[in-house]
Amino acid sequence: MDDTIFMTRALQAARAAEAAGEVPVGAVLVDERGVILAEASNRTLRDRDPTAHAEVVALRQGAKRRGHRLTGCTLYVTLEPCAMCAGAISHARIGRLVYAALDPKGGAVEHGPKLFGQPTIHARPLVERGPGGEAAGEMLRTFFRARR
């Protein structure tokens, strides 16, 4: 699979979120053949739903197409997932997680609880830092700078 292609799609979804006034995070869910099952962006404001992070929205869309277990799928995300999203990724049995930018404040993969390293976690995806970290990070910094 070409991580750059799928992360570019996730970055496009993040830009769409930003244009809608949402925190610019995007996610793309891909099956083991490289078929995109879902593309999503943050929708917490639009949906009035604090759980409508890009990852969760993508997992929901993917589960509607394939069932609640997304074993073998890869989830591309523009930002290190938070604890809620990391838990959902585990419950969905995602095989591989690729994310672009680190989130030292709210991330739960390399930061905070480091959820996938906990002995009680249901399933652990293969985790990789992917392309696009600089672009995703700059998009987020610009977004929050404009709101302060």
Residue ranges for the known binding site for Zn(2+) are: 53, 82, 85
How many degrees, rounded to 5, is the angle at CA 73 between CA 69 and CA 79?
A: 105
How many degrees, rounded to 5, is the angle at CA 124 between CA 92 and CA 77?
A: 65
Closest CA to 77 of 144, 148, 143, 23: 23
The residue annotated as part of the active site, out of 18, 22, 39, 55, is 55
- Is there a catalytic annotation at residue 55? yes
Which residues are tagged catalytic? Answer: 55
